[in-house]
Amino acid sequence: MLPILFILSLIPCCIEVDISAPSFLEIAAYFGVSEGKVELTIVYNFLGFCISAVLYGPLSECYGRRRIMIVGNTLLLIGAFGCGIVTTIDQLLVWRFIQGLGASSSAVIVFAMIADIYKGNEAIRLIGVINAILTLIMATAPVVGSFINRAWGWRGNYFIVAGISLITWVLLLKMLPETKRKRQKLNLRKIHQDYKILLKNPEFICTSFVPSMLYASYMAFVACGPFLYMGTFNLSIFSYAYHQGIIVAVFSLISLCSDYMIKILGKKHCTMVGVTASFISAIVLIMISLFWPNSPFLVTSFMITFCIGFALCYPIIFNASLELFPKIKGTASSLTMALRALICALVVGFASFLYNEHPFSIFSVILLATFFVFILTRSYLLNKMFNS
């Protein structure tokens, strides 16, 4: 039952971007603002996520996972509802920031809870299954968002997220157990020392940075995707949702099979194959943007191969970051999620700034990010993770 509750608690923070993305063109028209201004809704959300993620882990070590999880999900609920009642784009940015402050609670604490209860391959398997189920839900989110947008307008998507957040909040209040039995007293000096230990550890930084850069690359594509597919490629909102849904569905399928593939190839080879596949896909996407800039089919095809590589290596590297410091799992999970959100905010913000309705502008950002990932994994991470 607990894994199901974990999945339910992660749904609102996982679908909030994908379900609202089909509405971006309508939001821009409604408020009379630029594409880049609308894309800032994602940046502000990740900034809120980053700030609060730093706090939730250490606080959960002191006050328990359950209590902090419920507080964070309360913020998520309030922020989601606020997004649906705004009257200006600046108000929307503020409420998206508040929504981000709450969204990080489940993202941080769920994985700390997994680290509390499950070990080694069992934890990797559960993370893979959770990724698979969540990404399957995310795959349907753009399609659902398109229908909601058509029926009730862009506000409807935010109210749907608010409704799901309310149901999740009630279930957490009634059913979520406490997994952190041994509490620590709130000690700001110790929290500072814990973060200092983590930030000074190159292996932790690398195991946090690599999956975060891959995730940020995907989120940059999601942020620019509506304008690329519906603007540059001139597709309908439903055609865009179909392309986006296929990409996420394949990621879900690979995540679901990740445990089986790890058994066949081993963790090291899965990591290298995954990172290499994402890097090569980014190179091909640049070539497509130069020679076939108006081909949504080719773009979708190689975003699929990018996500296949991402799905192969993500659970292995992410779990490694949590297992490095077993005595401060909450703080480690907190910092990992905070770094991911900060990297996402920077990469998405940079991609939004560069985006000029040509696919090269977005895929150049993705290539740059995956180049760093490939070099770092090949030159350092593989040896450190598997030969130490």
In a domain, 96, yes or no: yes
Q: State the Cα–Cα distance between residues 101 and 49, nearest whole angstrom.
A: 5
Same domain assignment for residues 22 and 138:
yes
In a domain, 184, yes or no: no
Same domain assignment for residues 264 and 295:
yes
In a domain, 183, yes or no: no
Rg (CA), the chain: 20
Which residues does 366 contact at the CB level (< 8 Å), separation at least 6?
217, 220, 221, 282, 285, 306
Six-digit token string for 27: 């939001």
Residue finishing a domain among 122, 144, 176: 176
Residue finishing a domain among 123, 152, 176: 176
**For every one of its 388 residues, what pLDDT tens digit does the chain have, with 9 covering 90 and above?**
788 888 889 999 888 887 888 888 899 999 999 888 998 898 899 899 889 888 888 888 888 888 999 999 999 999 999 999 999 999 999 999 999 999 989 888 888 888 788 877 777 778 777 877 776 787 678 778 888 988 899 999 999 999 999 999 999 999 988 877 776 777 778 888 888 999 899 888 888 899 999 989 988 898 888 889 988 999 988 898 889 888 888 887 887 777 788 888 888 888 999 999 999 999 999 999 999 999 999 999 999 999 999 988 888 888 788 778 877 776 787 788 788 888 988 898 898 888 888 999 999 999 999 999 999 998 888 887 776 5
Same domain assignment for residues 130 and 157:
yes
Same domain assignment for residues 328 and 294:
yes
231 with 25: CB under 8 angstroms? yes
Give residue 18's pLDDT: 78
277 with 311: CB under 8 angstroms? no
Same domain assignment for residues 197 and 149:
no
Six-digit token string for 75: 């913020």
Q: State the Cα–Cα distance between residues 35 and 231, nearest whole angstrom.
A: 11
Same domain assignment for residues 221 and 283:
yes
Same domain assignment for residues 129 and 209:
no
Domain encompassing residue 222: 190-387
Q: State the Cα–Cα distance between residues 49 and 30, nearest whole angstrom.
A: 26
Same domain assignment for residues 142 and 198:
no
Same domain assignment for residues 122 and 259:
no
Q: Where are the alpha helices (DSSP H) in the chain?
A: 2-20, 24-31, 35-63, 65-83, 89-117, 120-152, 154-175, 188-199, 202-227, 237-256, 258-265, 267-291, 296-323, 329-354, 359-376, 382-386
Tally of domains in the chain: 2
In a domain, 231, yes or no: yes
Q: Is 118 exposed, middle or buried (0-12, 13-18, 19+ CB in 10 A)?
A: middle
213 with 347: CB under 8 angstroms? yes
Give residue 154's pLDDT: 92
Same domain assignment for residues 162 and 266:
no
Give residue 338's pLDDT: 83
In a domain, 29, yes or no: yes
Dihedral of CA 85/90/92/97: which sign?
negative
Identify the CA nearest to 109 among candidates 73, 63, 57, 160: 57
In a domain, 2, yes or no: yes
274 with 311: CB under 8 angstroms? yes
Which residues does 28 contact at the CB level (< 8 Å), separation at least 6?
34, 35, 37, 38
Give residue 388's pLDDT: 55
Q: Give CA separation, 70 vs 177, 178, 340, in Å.
A: 11, 12, 22
Residue finishing a domain among 120, 143, 176: 176
Same domain assignment for residues 122 and 258:
no
Tell me, what CATH number does 195's domain have? 1.20.1250.20
In a domain, 368, yes or no: yes
Q: Where are the alpha helices (DSSP H) in 153-236?
A: 154-175, 188-199, 202-227
Six-digit token string for 9: 């608690």
Identify the CA nearest to 244 among candidates 141, 330, 355, 134: 141
Q: What distance lies between CA 342 and its chain's CA centroid?
A: 11
Give residue 189's pLDDT: 84
Q: What is residue 368's DSSP assignment?
A: H
Please state the pTM of the whole predicted model. Answer: 0.79
In a domain, 185, yes or no: no
Same domain assignment for residues 285 and 153:
no
Q: Give CA separation, 168 vs 4, 19, 27, 87, 302, in Å.
A: 11, 17, 27, 27, 35
Which residues does 89 contact at the CB level (< 8 Å), separation at least 6?
27, 31, 33, 37, 38
